[in-house]
Amino acid sequence: MQPYTPAKTDNILVLGAGELGMAVLRELVALCATSVTVMLRPSEPDSASAAKLKTLAQLETLGIAVLPGDVVNDSEEQLCSVFSGFDTVVSCLGFVSGAGTQLKLARAALQSDVKRYVPWQFGVDYDVIGRGSPQDLFDEQLDVRQLLRGQSRVQWLIISTGMFTSFLFEPIFGVVDLARNTVRALGSWDTAVTVTTPEDIGRLTAAILFDPALSNQVVYTAGDTLTYGQLADTVDWMLEKTVERIEWTVPSLMADLAAAPTDQTRKYRAVFAQGKGVAWDKACTYNAERHINTTTVAKWIEQHLL
């Protein structure tokens, strides 16, 4: 067996510049003088949205090169050719790009000359959740893991971060519903969830990429891990109010999903309610072991709601 040699990180390609992608890009630039490039879907200059123009301006300020590419419409061969010009490829493109995209990107990375690939798995522990969960998109994430583990040429890292902290407070998700002064538990009040802010994910991803001891493994991070009961207590304490508490049991959420089987929000509610693979001990995470401070739910409320 050949001795382990850390993959080079001299030339990094990040796929996507959304909320997570921009956080990762900023931290990569802040951490090092490494060449950082982002791949974005091309658009005609006169048809670019105000948001796209703002993103392009931010990237220019950061000194990040922009490479046109379309993960949906470009072939695996085209993506493979693009990836071959980089040491490390980090995908920040989530499920919004459509079913099949995660596998397409993984196959392109493995066929390319890239040294290391970080797939978009910034979320739950798909190994623990397993196949056939209420969120059917998760099965593809397991296919990606199987591909990466089944080869030895390309190094890989999977970074498990839990849910975006802000998602707990999204009205459409329905967990913290401030308009109705309500907190709803997914599963039970003792069911736990791990959350991390995109900003912390960006900082930790940059640190993890430059940690030579990490390779071919799942790395766990956490801004906070708490039960829904603790979440309700935190909202009460931080906002100086008493919220109404409503428990959404697994059977009730599965019934809701059966009534609207293509509803993505109901899929996520059901899978998080089951409590498998959606929470881990913060004390055992990368950030805790290296004494890197992260944003708790209480701190997020202080920053965004007070």
Q: Distance of alpha carbon 261 from its chain centroid, rounded?
A: 24
Which residues form the domain of 91? 11-163+194-223+279-295
Higher local confidence (pLDDT), 4 or 256? 256
Q: Is residue 98 part of a domain?
A: yes
- pLDDT tier at 47 (50, 70, 90 boundaries)? low
Q: Is residue 274 part of a domain?
A: no
Q: What is the pTM of this model?
A: 0.93
Q: Which position has the token pair 């308009």?
A: 179
DSSP alpha helices (H): ranges in the chain?
19-31, 50-62, 76-83, 101-111, 126-129, 138-149, 198-209, 228-239, 250-259, 264-273, 286-289, 297-305
Q: Are 24 and 30 in contact (CB under 8 A)?
A: no
Q: Is residue 56 part of a domain?
A: yes
User: What does the pLDDT look like over 151-167, one tens digit per residue?
Assistant: 999 999 999 999 999 99
Q: Is residue 249 part of a domain?
A: no
User: What does the pLDDT look like over 138-151, one tens digit per residue?
Assistant: 999 999 999 999 99
Reply yes or no on whether the pLDDT at 301 is more than 90.
yes
Query: Residues of the chain with pLDDT > 90: what percent?
Result: 87
Q: Which of 165, 190, 182 is nearest to 301 (CA)?
A: 165
Q: What is the mean pLDDT of residues 23-35?
A: 87
Q: Is residue 105 part of a domain?
A: yes
What is the pLDDT at residue 1?
44
- pLDDT tier at 95 (50, 70, 90 boundaries)? confident
Domain count, the chain: 1
CATH code for position 100: 3.40.50.720
Q: Is residue 176 part of a domain?
A: no
What is the pLDDT at residue 49?
77
What is the chain's mean pLDDT, rounded? 93
What is the pLDDT at residue 34?
72
User: What does the pLDDT look like over 248-279, one tens digit per residue?
Assistant: 999 999 999 999 999 999 999 999 999 999 99
Q: Is residue 151 part of a domain?
A: yes
Q: Is residue 203 part of a domain?
A: yes
